[in-house]
């Protein structure tokens, strides 16, 4: 999967330089994912504050704690998956 504009040294180490069309394609996919995530997060915040009756600070703290758990948990799980193989 080497490209003509990638150096031989970079290709040996598994790096691949993306062209502009590929960059735009990956960016569009990331944009779509983030739009969906933010729509759900906004609805949840509205639900927690207006329907469920939590205070805005409590709901924001809950969102913050979940993201901080992700900061620790995701690299741990990613490292575990990278180092172990399943039959």
- Segment 19-54, tens digit of pLDDT: 999 999 999 999 999 999 999 999 999 999 999 999
Six token digits for residue 33:
């994912």
- The string of pLDDT tens digits covering residues 65-76 is 999 999 999 999
At residue 44, the pLDDT reads: 95
SS3 72: helix
Rounded mean pLDDT of 78-85? Answer: 92
Cβ within 8 Å of residue 45, ≥6 positions away: 59, 60, 63
Are 61 and 48 in contact by the 8 Å Cβ rule? The answer is no
């Amino acid at each position: 999967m080497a490209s003509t504009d990638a150096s031989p040294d970079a290709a040996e180490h598994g790096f691949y330089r993306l062209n502009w069309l590929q960059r735009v394609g990956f960016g569009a996919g990331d944009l779509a994912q983030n739009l969906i995530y933010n729509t759900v997060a906004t609805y949840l915040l509205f639900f927690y504050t207006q329907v469920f009756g939590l205070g805005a600070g409590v709901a924001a703290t809950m969102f913050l704690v979940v993201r901080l758990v992700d900061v620790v948990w995701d690299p741990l799980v990613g490292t575990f998956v990278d180092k172990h193989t399943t039959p």
